[in-house]
Each structure stands twice: as C-alpha cells, then as structure tokens.
Amino acid sequence: MAPKVLVSDELSETAVQIFRDRGVEVDYLPKIGKDKDALAEIIGKYDGLAIRSATKATEKLLEKATNLKVIGRAGIGVDNVDIPAASKRGIIVMNTPFGNSITTAEHAIAMMFAVARQLPEASESTHSGKWEKSRFMGVELFNKTLGVIGAGNIGGIVCDRALGLKMKVVAYDPFLSEERAKQTGVTKVELDELLAKADFITLHVPLTDKTKGILNAENIAKTKPGVRIINCARGGLVDEAALAEALKSGHVAGAAFDVFEVEPAKESPLFGLPNVVVTPHLGASTTEAQENVALQVAEQMSDYLLTGAVSNALNMPSVTAEEAAVMGPWLKLAGHLGAFVGQMTDEPIKAINVLYDGTVAKMNLAALNASVIAGVMKASNPDVNMVSAPIIAKERGIQVSTTSQEKSGTFDAYIKVTMVTETRERSIAGTVFSDGKPRFIQVKGINIDAEVGEHMLYTTNNDVPGIIGALGTTLGQHGVNIANFTLGRSSVGKDAIAILYLDEPLDGPTLDALRDTGLFKQVRPLEFAAA
C-alpha cells in the first residue's frame, strides 16, 4: 500500500508532482492548514504532512495523527511544529535548512542599499508628485566597513557579496577561525571592535539566550556615530526601543528590518521613523527559494517513506534502520560529549578530534561524528542538527579528525572528544553501560564515573578539604537538589573536579554564590538533551 501525504500549505505543483512520480499518494489541500479543526479531522489518514508556516503541528493535532510518520517543513523555521511532542510519538520532523540561504543574504544586501540611499522614502515622495532631490542625500557602500555579526551560512554569503561591492568586512563570530577568515577576505574581530568600526552592521545569528538583545542600548551606544543597522535574521536580536531612541537622537543614521520581536508586527517603536526600512519577513520570499525548499522537502519525505532514508531530520539521526537499534545509545553519548566541550568554551574552535575505541570503532563513524559536532555547535546554535552541523563546521574552518582503535583499556568501548582552540585543548571521554545509559568516564585526564543528566554542574578546584561541603551547603541554601555527585582528582593536593547531576537548572544567584566561596577555579552550568 502506497504511503499517503497531505500537503496542507501552499507548495509548488512541481513539488506535489515529485510525490506522485515517486509513488507516494498525495492530497493537495493548501487551505486546510489554517483550519485546525478541519485538519484534525483528517490528519489520522496520513503517513506524511508537508507544511510551510501556516499549519501549526501542535501537540493537540499530533494526538489525532495516529498514522503520521514524518512532518516535512519547506523552509528552515520549525516554530510551528511541537518537536518534543512529535518525538514522543515517533514522528520525524524534517526541514530544508539551506534552500533559502542565497535569497535571505540577497535581501540583507538589498536592505543595506535601500537604507543607504533612502530608497523607500524617495520613492514615496516622488510618487506623491514631489521632486525632493536635495532631501535624500545618501551614502556610498564603496570603501565603507560592514560589520557582520554571525558569519555562518547566510552571513558568509553576505560577506562574499559585500567584498564584491568593495566594502571592508569585519566579522564577529566565536566559531569563525582565523584561517577561515583569511581565506574569505574577512577580518575577524571581537564584538566591541566591530561596533566601533562598522559603518553598517548586519546580523545573521540565531536567537538564543546568548544572542538575544546582542544589540541592546549599551551596545548600540558603542557603535560608530552615523551607523546603519540591518536585521534580516531574527526578531529580538536588537532592542527595538533602544534602537528607536538612537535613531531619534541621530546617533544611528538608519535601520532596515525584516524581522521583529513580535510577528506579525502590527506595531513597533521603529514604525514611522525616518530612514527606517521595514519589510514583513520577506527574507526567504523569492520564487527560486520557495521552489527550492518545496522540491527538497518532497524529495526528503519521499525518500523516508519509501526507503527509510533520513535527511535533515531535527529529531532523529541520519542512519539506517538497522544501525539505529545498535547505535542509538552511542549516538546519544556522542552528542552529550560534544555538548560538554561545546559549553565549556567561548573561544573559536580550531579542531574537533574524536577517538573511537573498541566495538564502537566498527559502527557508523560518520553518523557518530555528526552527533559529536552537532552537540558542540548547539552551544551557539540550537537549530543545528546532525546533517547541517558538519557543513557549518566546514564553513567555519573547523578541522574534524577521527581515530579508531582496538580495545585498549578497561571498557569494551568508549569515545573520547578533544576540542582544540587557540589557547587550549579540552577533552572528555564516555561510554555506554549495559543499561544503555551514557556515562562520562574521564575529564581532563581525570578518571570519573558520572551519570549524564539534563541539568549538571561542573567545577574545578585545588584538591583541598571543604569542597563537598561547600557544594552541598551552597546548593542546599538555594533549593537545588543533587541527584548524583561525582568527584575526581589528578593526585593528592593537585587538580580536582566535580560533576553534579541536578534536579533543576542553576540560576545566576546560585552560580554567583558558588564563585563567591573562592574555592573554585571554574564553575560551569551544563545542559544536556533529555533522554
């Protein structure tokens, strides 16, 4: 019996035909995605659901999707899909992360031109019968400095286009290596230097706890007088109210925004201000981009439903069905090891070295490597997955090396991940016990046995009395319960570490209290994907 797919949003006829040509039965109902009740009535008949942004794949809808095996999002954003709920029901969620990169980058360049020459206002003025030639005095892009915050996939394309316009390009990106920057003709700088030097600033980072408000009032005040700011990435990266004040004062000469803190944006502090160009989230809105992502999602969903092949999945590793049964726990461990070292550094990563020892060395190392890299990259980009992570690492000049060897120690198998930056190396090793649960077994060369939990704390200190008491007392005073406590040391009186598995995440005051004891060289909260 042929698998059956529902297309509930607008998708190109070519994409719909791909399903049919591949032998997948398809119902094209592009309006039903906006009618949640009607969608809920019929969703139980389908093996696949192909969507854009209008359909909301909520937990309530997925409860009705008793046969659904895959959701394919034509585009990168999956805010309209409840991924945890889908995962619990064994539903794969796929997206098409690179189909609209060029389109979004071009929109940012177009917005930069528009704000440099005040094109929308000049057009409106001329349409109204005025001829205000002297009113609209613009600036050239030639020889100006463009500051790019986030030089990944889309940001990298913007850098390339800007260099073609003979602009000077400086980039702030913790994951951009010096070598990669030199190769592309970009000058790598810290954020404060970018703010001080840039004539134009464009943002191309995901919205995370670290990037939210990256251009707040304090940082906007550090910018060069007369700067122009472009945001085609995510709303919330820029404090709109603070930017509005800077525009009114004249410190910022102009702004161009395609994204807003609240969307659809019916109101914003930026609306109505002179030399502010605004568009309704059009970054991916070109015929080519929409066609690309539609064709990609149809191919990916067909591949999975017909052959079991998984591509660009956000909640499932890209491995065969046979491999998944054996590799599942090891893939999870690989991701945890990557997440550990990724959360332990704020420096650009030069290399990731992975050692596979024993029976794990005979598994699908490409998939395990992808899980390690995804774990590392998720520290700065929560949207990354096992497919996109290696591509992003390559774009940023991160060297990934793999070593495999026969059983060489106490454990039948283990994985060791070493991350290399300009100033140091960090390593962690782990294994999977017979219960299928991952364990950390070595950090910084110190042997341990630490169960992996969702919320953890890592500390380093000199091996002196009082550490256990300080940790227990301080966490207890702040209402934090310890589920598991592991200690290790290099030798008596030397380096020591502690890894704690906690029942809840740590807040700022608790971390400050631990640091204020003066006992710890390092205090790091760590978060890991739930089992």
Q: How many CA atoms lie within 13 A of 206 on its CB side?
A: 17
Contact (Cβ atoms closer than 8 angstroms) between residue 504 and residue 480 = yes
| Tokens 């502690």, residue located | 498
Spatial separation of the C-alpha atoms in residues 419 and 346, rounded to whole Å: 12
Tokens of 180: 């990669």
Contact (Cβ atoms closer than 8 angstroms) between residue 308 and residue 320 = yes
Contacts of 152 (CB under 8 A, 6+ apart): 173, 175, 204, 205, 381, 392, 395, 396
Which pairing describes strands 399-405 and 227-231: parallel, antiparallel, or unpaired?
unpaired
Tell me which of 52, 234, 439, 489 is the catalytic residue.
234
Q: Is 263 noted as a catalytic residue in this protein?
A: yes
- Other beta carbons within 10 angstroms of residue 38's beta carbon come to 14
Tell me which of 73, 107, 161, 281 is the catalytic residue.
281
Contacts of 295 (CB under 8 A, 6+ apart): 12, 14, 15, 18
3-class DSSP assignment, residue 464: coil
Query: In one letter, which amino acid is 266?
Result: K
Tell me which of 41, 124, 263, 504 is the catalytic residue.
263
Q: Is 281 noted as a catalytic residue in this protein?
A: yes
Contacts of 293 (CB under 8 A, 6+ apart): 74, 75, 96, 99, 100, 284
- Residues labelled catalytic: 234, 263, 281
